[in-house]
Structure 1
Amino acid sequence: MNATSFTTLGLEQPLADGLSEYGITEPTPVQSEAIPAILKGADVLARSQTGTGKTLAYLLPILQNIDPDLKSPQKLVIAPTQELAMQIVREGEKYGQVRGIQVLGLIGGAALKRQVEKLKQHPQLIIGTPGRVRELIEVRKLKMHQVNTIVVDEVDQVFQLGGAGDVDRIFRSALRDRQLVFLSATVSNETASLVKREMQNPVEIGIDPDQSTAKGLEHIYFAGEERDKMENLRRVIRHYNPKKAMVFVNQTESIAEVQAKLNFMGLSAEALYADADKMVRSRVLRGFRNGKFKVLVASDVAARGLDIEGLEMVVNYDPALDSEHYVHRAGRTGRMGRSGLVISLVTNRQIFIMNKFAKELGISLEERRMYGGKVLEPRAASSVQRSSTPRKPIGAVRDDKARISSEASDQGSAERRQGKENIRKPSGPAKSKNEPFRGGKPTERQSRSERERERKNKGAPKWLKDKKRP
């Protein structure tokens, strides 16, 4: 296909030409399904894996449906996080400039006064986070009377982050016959309920509904002891040597520890915190995109919706909380048809979680072991281990438990025997047969006369004791 393929979907030639300038000449499946429906003004529910081109699937048709001569907000896009919102702003500015469309981002953490001033310039496309958009609506700075399309990107994440109330208030402030477009990698019961309540005869788009993650991803896990996890993380990153890798942890308190240990091991790493200042988060993400450091350590909340070009590998230092979180983590890599690697580091007791994810998501999620600088299947690693004695592989700890326990038991017995022998042995130099006993219990070698003489001399002065006997 060429650039005219987008025009057959209904896009105008200037937008299609703009796509060609950035090397986009062929629409993805979700774009082929969504663009015609959104252009017609239909309500749309699109479910597709992350990284399949959902942003352009809704952004291109709403840009085309904006009237550049009407100086008022006409389209609104709601995103769950600041980073995702600003990514959409950049895409909107990139493709909207050919039609003279003004785009404004309204995100929490930025100066409210400055955003109010920019609203006076009458942007036609508003992109923001739920809380800040609602705040500006309630203070009557953002006018919604001409907003005829509302897009909620990653709708399930919006609800998970507590934005359901804000979204409902935004809907109430818009036109009654407004167009709604919901997009997500997963569709929860809450989202399904909202669709039923707010949409009119929605067009449902499901790209590979049985495949929740992108097809170009490889999913594997390494099992080992909890105490070895940091070393295993180092070995995994060193072995695959990606230009960029993202490491997910479950607890915010663990982010700094993992980052510090990676840097100590010689792997340049930075941390991304959900509650960090907007400028700090922007600096960290800009450095990661520019390749100033290799590893970005973050939690699920901190990394919501991130699109990092060239991200080759995602490592779950802690297993995802559920299959939905696993999908969003995995979606940071392998975007737009590219390949990607998703690795999970688990303990032996957590292997069942990997089996559960594989079954629920319909993916191949298999165990691997690292042995002799190679990544092998467990059976192959065990075979190599029996024929040689190099470094113990990641994930082989289970096979050594009985041996270690037995060796520890034998060592303990030997130490106890040695201790008894030490108690029996007298300390200090050996005494001669005629040497007088200087305190303590007499030995059997001492004669009765020697014991008697010793007893009598106990109270004698030193000069008398030292006097030689005739």
Structure 2
Amino acid sequence: MNPTSFTALGIEQSLMDSLSEYGITDPTPVQAEAIPAILKGADVLARSQTGTGKTLAYLLPVLQGIDAERKSAQKLVIAPTQELAMQIVREGEKYGENLGINVLGLIGGAALKRQVEKLKQHPQLLVGTPGRIRELIETRKVKMHEVNTIVVDEVDQVFQLGGAADVDRILRSALRDRQLVFLSATVSEETAALVKREMNAPVEIGIDPDQSTAKGLEHYYFAGDERDKIETLRRVIRHYDPKKAIVFVNQTETIAEVQGKLNYMGLSAEGLYADADKLTRSRVLSGFRSGKFKVLVASDVAARGLDIEGLEMVVNYDPPADSEHYVHRAGRTGRMGRSGLVLSLVTHRQIFIMNKFARELGISLEERRLYGGKVLKPGALPGGRGPSGTRKPSDKKATADVSGGGEGRNRTAKEETRRAPGPAKGKNEWVRGGKQPERKGSERDRDRKNKGAPKWLKDKKRP
């Protein structure tokens, strides 16, 4: 079966009209397989790359299955993060308005009292994060006796963020014959075990199981010295000139450093912190979506499940922890069949990580180098450099490594020098090899972490 329209999948005309308003006419592959199964009431496990339309794949049949005349909670959607939950709420309101369906977001970090008041309006669709939903169930503010469908979006991320116990408690509170729908870009052993324990003859949907990332993505890495990484980041952003880009770092402390240096270099950037309050995070994301600044710097935790329209590029300033994290980072761009660019900045010793990801994910992840304002394959560089950056024996006068140096400058290795702070007299001297005088660890770390940091974070870190 290869349906070419939502009508053929069983979607009603009222929802079709709403889809047409937003220019959506044809279902994606995951929607074509998931919608009929969910409409039939079957338990579903759907694995598909991020950005392939998974939200509408479950949201359309969920909305269609709600009786708007009944003033009680009938469907529940669980999401790993505040941002993803709010995105689902917005989509639910958008397509449920014509059906007379009331949607309520139950988000951790938001005012609990206000959410309790809104529950008195008897919303039919609840969307929220695991901890807050569990809290409201245990205080008997959310009644689960009429909830007949539970959806867990990005289920692997829910577990990674410590929500496994909350999900288990939520499932225990629901009807025994409730319908379960689990969706994720990857399926871990923990998820597979939950499926076997809780689902009844689930319909398994896997779109391009051998393709972990979207087909429209290009994957490249740039290798160089650690000290040149921020300059390389500046140059790749300038070269590709995306309207919006997310830069991923591994440590929260690095966010302020990268954000501050990018702004100093003339690239507008903001940091997204996982432990910031809801209003601060909303302000940053709203500014990013509206184009007030070009670069969003974030960690994996801060950017879980983000869906930013028009995001053209993702940069791994630090290599992801594993191939699964690479998939989720890459999934922020190239959504719904669009093209996207995923760049990774690594040291020469970290090249093996890129080769590992390429092998595990079945993707083409190639090296690129910056030279003379252009991005070239290693073999196309003057001097015949190979992929590892080595030169031919006959090329004795080849120029120094260009992956992190100044654009268009040809200097021999013997001439390569760098200006560094001099002794306490206040004068600067030229130090060969580019080595900077070392400073005490505590002083260096404090300056690095606080440079460019927002005031609330500086106050938080102050002893």
Please give the range of the TM-score, normalised by the shorter of the 2 chains. 0.7 to 0.9
**Where does 1:230-249 land on structure 2 (aligned, <5 Å)?**
230-249=230-249
Retained in 1: the 8 A contact 2:314–2:329?
yes
Alignment partner, residue 465 of structure 1 = none
Determine if contact 1:52/1:336 at 8 Å carries over to the other structure: yes
8 Å contact kept, 1:259–1:269: yes
Question: Residue 289 of structure 1 aligns with which residue?
Answer: 289
- Listed as ranges, the matches of 1:387-402 within 5 Å are 392-394=401-403
Q: For residue 316 of structure 2, what is the amino acid of its counterpart?
A: N
Match of 1:72 in 2: 72
Q: Which amino acid aligns with 1:87?
A: Q
Which residue does 2:52 correspond to in 1?
52
Q: Residue 30 of structure 2 corresponds to which residue in structure 1? A: 30
| Alignment partner, residue 148 of structure 1 | 148
Q: Alpha carbons of 1:4 and 1:229: their partners in 2 closer, same or farther (altered >3 Å)?
A: closer
Task: Check if 1:347 corresponds to 2:318.
Answer: no
Alignment CA distance shift 1:343-1:388 (3 Å): farther
The one-letter amino acid paired with 2:315 is: V
User: Taking structure 1 as reference, are residues 311 and 391 closer, same or farther at Cα in structure 2, changes over 3 Å only?
Assistant: farther
Alignment match, 1:206: 206
Q: Which amino acid aligns with 2:402?
A: P
- Partner SS for 2:266: coil
Q: Is 1:73–1:124's contact at 8 Å kept on the other side of the alignment?
A: yes
8 Å CA contact retained: 1:369, 1:396: no
Kept after mapping to 1: 8 A contact 2:39/2:65: yes
Fraction of identical pairs, as percent: 82
> 8 Å contact 1:244–1:311 — kept in the other structure?
yes
The Cα shift of 1:224 comes to 0.1
Rounded Cα–Cα distance in structure 1 between residues aligned with 2:344 and 2:396: 28
User: Is residue 43 of structure 1 aligned with residue 52 of structure 2?
Assistant: no
Aligned position for 1:127: 127
CA 1:407–1:343: 2 relative to 1, 3 Å: closer
Q: Structure 1: where are the runs of 5+ without partners?
A: 398-402, 409-470
Preserved CA contact (<8 Å) 2:228 2:404: no
Q: What is residue 459 of structure 2 aligned with on the other side?
A: none
Contact 1:220 1:343 in 2 (8 A): yes
Structure 1 segment 83-122 matched on structure 2, within 5 A: 83-122=83-122
SS of residue paired to 2:236: helix
Alpha-carbon separation, structure 2, partners of 1:255 and 1:226: 16
SS where residue 5 of structure 2 aligns? helix
Using the alignment, how far apart are the partners of 1:380 and 1:387 within structure 2? Answer: 18
The one-letter code matched in structure 2 to 1:264 is Y
Q: CA deviation at 1:51?
A: 0.1
Could you tell me how far 1:383 is from its partner in structure 2?
4.1
Q: CA deviation at 1:384?
A: 7.3
Equivalence for 1:459: none
1:154 CA drift (Å): 0.1
Distance 2:266 2:258 in 1: 13
Equivalent residue for 2:358? 358
In 2, Cα distance between equivalents of 1:324 and 1:273: 21
Residues 34 and 58 in structure 1, CA contact (< 8 A), matched pair in contact too: yes
2:227 maps to a residue whose letter is R
Distance 1:404 1:45 in 2: 56
Is contact 2:134–2:169 with CA below 8 Å preserved after alignment? yes
SS at match of 1:67: coil
Matches within 5 A, 1:254-333: 254-333=254-333
SS at match of 1:359: helix
Give how far 1:17 is off. Answer: 1.2
Deviation at 1:98, TM superposition (A): 1.1
Q: What are the superposed Cα offsets for residues 139-172 of structure 1, whole Å, 9 maximum, x if unpaired?
A: 0000000000000000000000000000000000
CA distance in 2, matches of 1:21, 1:49: 26
Any idea what the Cα deviations from partners look like across 1:196-221, whole Å, max 9, x if unmatched?
Answer: 00000000000000000000000000
Aligned partners of 1:405 and 1:342: how far apart in 2? 35
Rounded Cα–Cα distance in structure 2 between residues aligned with 1:166 and 1:7: 37
Counterpart-to-counterpart distance in 2, 1:340 and 1:388: 38
Amino acid at match of 2:71: K
Structure 2 counterpart of 1:65, which letter? G
TM-score (norm 2): 0.84
For the residues of structure 2 that align with 1:220 and 1:28, how far apart are their CA atoms? 27
| Unmatched segments (≥5 aa) in structure 2 | 386-394, 407-411, 418-463
1:461 is aligned to none
Residues 290-320 of structure 1: per-residue CA shift (max 9 Å, x gap) = 0000000000000000000000000000000
Which runs of structure 2 are paired with 1:10-25 in the superposition (5 Å)?
Answer: 10-25=10-25
Question: Over residues 380-419 of structure 1, what are the superposed CA-to-partner deviations in whole Å (9 max), with x where a residue is unaligned?
Answer: 014478799888521799xxxxx848999xxxxxxxxxxx
SS in structure 1 of the partner of residue 169 of structure 2: helix
Which residue is equivalent to 1:182? 182
Equivalent residue letter for 2:108: G
SS of 1:57's equivalent in the other structure is: helix
Give the count of matched residue pairs: 401
- What is the rounded CA distance, in whole Å, between the counterparts of 2:107 and 2:379 in structure 1? 51
Query: How much is the aligned-residue C-alpha RMSD, in angstroms?
Result: 2.0
Could you give the per-residue CA deviations for residues 182-237 of structure 1, whole angstroms, max 9, x where no partner exists?
Answer: 00000000000000000000000000000000000000000000000000000000
Which whole-Å CA distance do the structure 2 matches of 1:216 and 1:167 have between them? Answer: 33
The SS at the match of 1:88 is helix
Aligned to 2:167: 167
Q: Distance in 1 between matches of 2:397 and 2:217?
A: 33
Distance 1:341 1:390 in 2: 29
Larger radius of gyration, structure 1 or 2? 1
**Counterpart Cα distance in 2 of 1:102 and 1:382:** 63
Q: Which residue of 2 aligns with 1:419?
A: none
Indicate the SS of the match to 1:92: helix
Q: CA 1:388–1:373 in structure 2 vs 1: closer, same or farther (change >3 Å)?
A: farther
Q: Tell me, in whole angstroms, the C-alpha distance in 2 between the residues paired with 1:255 and 1:378.
A: 30
Matched, 1:337 2:346: no
Q: 1:396 to 1:323 in 2, by over 3 A?
A: farther
In structure 2, the CA distance between the partners of 1:387 and 1:9, relative to structure 1 (3 Å rule), is farther
Distance 2:14 2:397 in 1: 65
Q: Which of 374-383 and 185-194 deviates more? A: 374-383
1:197 alignment counterpart: 197
**8 Å Cα contact 2:229/2:404 also seen in 1:** no
